[in-house]
């Protein structure tokens, strides 16, 4: 039997999850690079997923702590969608994926890990990105460090004045 070591995962597994809302915390953070925040808009922001499904897995969330799309005002909904579209365009340019999964999980039974703060996932997909490691070993191989992906993407989120 061969072993694949991922010791950094134990900190997350044994922590029992975040004690406070990660979106509320990262939305007001002044250390964007450490918190993987790529862009801060007026009402919403874009950040990288610390535990991504694929390289370039982004999340787009409002600053306001609401658990459902129906609780967002029209300006929040509009900015949320604009940032999702912007994220897709940047990921297409920088990472050249074959497609995307874009979605939101509303409620724990729908798979929401942070059910109290609505957020969208933008996940780039490549042909063949699910292979024997994922299917047989239930292991995902991430071919790039988060910090490297962050540096590639963040320059494209900068607003051109």
8 Å CB contact between 119 and 110: no
Please indicate whether residue 156 is annotated as part of the active site: no
Of 117, 119, 121, 156, the catalytic one is 119
**Angle value at C-alpha 63, between 29 and 100, nearest 5 degrees:** 100
Exposed/middle/buried for residue 69 (C-beta within 10 Å: 0-12, 13-18, 19+) = middle
Kindly state the greatest CA–CA separation across the chain.
56
SS3 101: strand
Catalytic residues: 119
């Amino acid at each position: 039997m061969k072993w694949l070591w991922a010791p950094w995962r134990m900190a997350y597994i044994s922590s029992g999850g975040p004690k406070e809302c990660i979106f509320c915390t990262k939305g007001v953070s002044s250390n964007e690079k450490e918190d993987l925040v790529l862009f801060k808009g007026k009402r919403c922001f874009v950040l990288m997923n610390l535990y991504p499904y694929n390289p370039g897995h982004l999340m787009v969330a409002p600053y306001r702590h609401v658990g459902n799309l129906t609780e967002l005002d029209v300006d929040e909904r509009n900015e949320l969608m604009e940032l999702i579209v912007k994220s897709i365009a940047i990921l297409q340019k920088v990472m050249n994926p074959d497609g995307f999964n874009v979605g939101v999980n509303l409620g724990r039974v729908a798979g929401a890990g942070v059910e109290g703060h609505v957020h969208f996932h933008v996940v780039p997909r490549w042909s063949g990105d699910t292979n024997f490691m994922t299917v047989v070993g239930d292991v995902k191989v991430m071919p790039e460090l988060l910090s490297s992906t962050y540096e590639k993407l963040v320059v494209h989120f900068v607003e051109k004045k």
